[in-house]
A and B are shown apart, each in its own frame.
Chain A
């Protein structure tokens, strides 16, 4: 041990005399800026969605806070859904953040590599991360980055991609990127955790213009992953506070509802639900509008999905009371 310490000290001294030592690299930061951050992928839903699943006793019901026709419970599903998605994003970012905490093992003019490192959680396995930079628009244009998180069992020759992404722009907060996670590869290589989903997940995000968008595609995951349903979730957020969120959930009756929403800065909005009723397999749609307090101001339920009238269609309130949204935002 003493000889090791002396050797390290001698190496450090030699290093300092011959040239500088350290990880003081601005270029490293440029490469790291290409990796998505938690806030780049996060789905942010207005507070009017309420407390989440615990409040969901039915699809539409009068409450003490909201008179007839009741609270916007479908909209209230947006929050737990976004929480599930954000949990998935956190899981991914947690992997990516491991890279940020360490200096690269190898530096090239247009590449950085971290690892291979032993995977402490999965002995006998090792991981590495590679980021390559290119200049598709020339040296004066914005760079493009391609990165991959790879794993392999020790002794294997080749690494298997686990997360693959690309990014166009100078930094994640000012560019467009895609991330694809192959959950099955995690299981195949042997670096999956018990909470690792199966299937795959693709995320596309754009931070280069207004609105910023996040597209989380869980269609290839059998159970969706991270508690969310298999669906292509679309989130758009404008700087003005206006947003749109397409999500999917299954209610307590087992009915599957796919929801397209649009909402204003105050949290008032519109939605259209495409449902598949578990009891009879019937499908259809209904529309709702709600105010900033999360209370319904308009319901149009042509198939009486909510069972609020003996004779469909059920209509309550006026469409004129619906929040005004820019063209193209919201379902109607």
Chain B
């Protein structure tokens, strides 16, 4: 029964869509250009958008690596050259009898009717003309740039939530499709929250499966556009930049829709069951959104993902909190089950950097130095230190961390007293402290500031004056702690820590002393 059903489904799929098949060659030119030249602000995510779309087209878009070109900040000449080259390759493939699809994606600035590639320009009319005459059976232009809707102005433009494509037996579709991220008079917006432009973020989410409203594990051009349109409008509706309406132009003949992404060959992914409902955001290990799934109850939705560990969050409809789950994707499908997700307060949003409490071990080496010269010469000389710190990040709230630390060190110096020859000193220090601090994350960088209290034990002996007694002093030293860390991998960071401590010395006299401890070290974060 199961085999029969599968066979029926396969036949039905083959009949209803011009899916990528063995005789179809797909070519892709993906361009990310953050620099729009004079009068423009450098875009933060244009290159990342391009890399993301390039990866998706290779993963689920049916494009072979040899047939894809990724240009990052390469300029207009490289754009033209690559487009010409891929057009020629498409022509050659077509001559061999293959059906061909050419996809051109651009993320960057556009102004005054032209794409702005650094100092260079590529008029929209030129691009459209190039796509119109390209020899591929289907040419798809995806433009994520301000006022990019101008490219579709001539004919067929339809700023609408979806378009219909005739389906039926016969030859596959042929012609031109242009999709732009915003209308001719609108800006396209980037979002720090998702680390991408809104349009590309939703387009990518849709291609990975978020747009597969039919549940057939294929994302068609119509599905992708409908999803990207709805999500982009929704995301920008309340933004300061104004609502952003993606637009499209289609000039397709033939029959059937164009399948932009085929999820079936990708074995790993997340599956949102039929009863799941709501907006799910999938974050990678660095906390960046890789996909969103805006799902209504009724059909299963599958999101194709590369192997790895992901955090899935869902904002509860009543705004009372979040559901969060950490899921590992390998070679199979992993179900997203609301009932097995952890409920969290809104301020512990993993998308805003809260990854849950994480234990981290820091090992470092550094030095100690008292600020007062008299104290350095007569009491506590500078010392080298080696230390360990165990930190629990985000344990007390988003960005709030606490930790315990210990440091051991020492040094050699000379005790200087008036009228007395300097006495060689061997100095040692042991400190154990507890800290509470707040982390401020800026991408891979994290700055921290907080307070610390430590138990500090200081001792000295006089190796050249054996008759002099060894001396020690211990006290509680409150202070401030700060750090700057740079994350190389989700688990490994380099960290520079500075502590400013207060010490009340009261043996010879009552003195308030300050000293600094600086460390350079490595932090290893356990867990996910």
Given the interface pairs A29-B468, A100-B467, A103-B469, the reply to whether A22 lies near B421 with Cβ below 8 Å is no
CB distance from A165 to the nearest CB of B (A): 16
B469 touches A102 (CB 8 A): yes
In the assembled complex, which residues on chain A have CB atoms less than 8 Å from the CB atom of B474?
Answer: 16, 20-22
Contact of A57 with B by CB under 8 A = no
The residue of chain B having its C-beta at the shortest distance from the C-beta of A171 within the complex is: B420
Contact of B66 with A by CB under 8 A = no
In the assembled complex, which residues on chain A have CB atoms less than 8 Å from the CB atom of B503?
Answer: 20
CB distance from A221 to the nearest CB of B (A): 26
A22 touches B472 (CB 8 A): yes
Contact of B371 with A by CB under 8 A = no
Taking CB atoms and an 8 Å cut-off, the chain A residues in 101-123 that contact chain B are 101-103, 107
- Give 1 or 0 for each of A42-77: 1 = CB within 8 Å of chain B CB: 000000000000000000000000000000000000
CB distance from B362 to the nearest CB of A (A): 25
Taking CB atoms and an 8 Å cut-off, the chain B residues in 459-488 that contact chain A are 459-460, 467-469, 471-476
CA distance A235 to B379 in the complex (A): 37
**Residue from B419, B421, B455, B508 in contact with A26 in the complex, judged by beta carbons closer than 8 Å:** B508
Interface of chain B, main secondary structure: strand
Contact of B95 with A by CB under 8 A = no
- Give 1 or 0 for each of A1-27: 1 = CB within 8 Å of chain B CB: 000000000000000110111111111
CB distance from A42 to the nearest CB of B (A): 14
Contact of A308 with B by CB under 8 A = no
**Chain A interface, number of residues (Cβ within 8 angstroms):** 29
In the assembled complex, which residues on chain B have CB atoms less than 8 Å from the CB atom of A25?
Answer: 471, 507-508
Contact of A173 with B by CB under 8 A = yes
The residue of chain A having its C-beta at the shortest distance from the C-beta of B420 within the complex is: A171
A24 touches B467 (CB 8 A): no
- How big is the B interface, by class? 20 to 34
Contact of A97 with B by CB under 8 A = yes
A100 touches B468 (CB 8 A): yes
B469 touches A169 (CB 8 A): no
In the assembled complex, which residues on chain A have CB atoms less than 8 Å from the CB atom of B472?
Answer: 22-24
- Give 1 or 0 for each of B487-514: 1 = CB within 8 Å of chain A CB: 0000000000000000111111000000
A174 touches B508 (CB 8 A): no
In the assembled complex, which residues on chain A have CB atoms less than 8 Å from the CB atom of B417?
Answer: 26, 29-30, 33, 170-171
- Give 1 or 0 for each of A168-197: 1 = CB within 8 Å of chain B CB: 011101100000000000000000000000
CA distance A23 to B460 in the complex (A): 10
CA distance A23 to B379 in the complex (A): 12
CA distance A23 to B508 in the complex (A): 9
Contact of A142 with B by CB under 8 A = yes
In the assembled complex, which residues on chain A have CB atoms less than 8 Å from the CB atom of B418?
Answer: 170
Contact of A219 with B by CB under 8 A = no
In addition to A20-B506, A25-B508, A29-B468, 12 A-B residue pairs with Cβ atoms within 8 Å of each other are A20-B473, A20-B505, A22-B507, A24-B458, A24-B459, A29-B423, A100-B467, A101-B469, A102-B469, A142-B419, A169-B419, A174-B419
The 7 closest A-B pairs by CB, nearest first: A170-B419, A24-B473, A20-B475, A22-B473, A171-B420, A27-B508, A24-B471
A to B CB contacts below 8 Å, 8 in the list: A20-B504, A23-B471, A23-B507, A26-B378, A32-B468, A37-B467, A171-B419, A171-B420
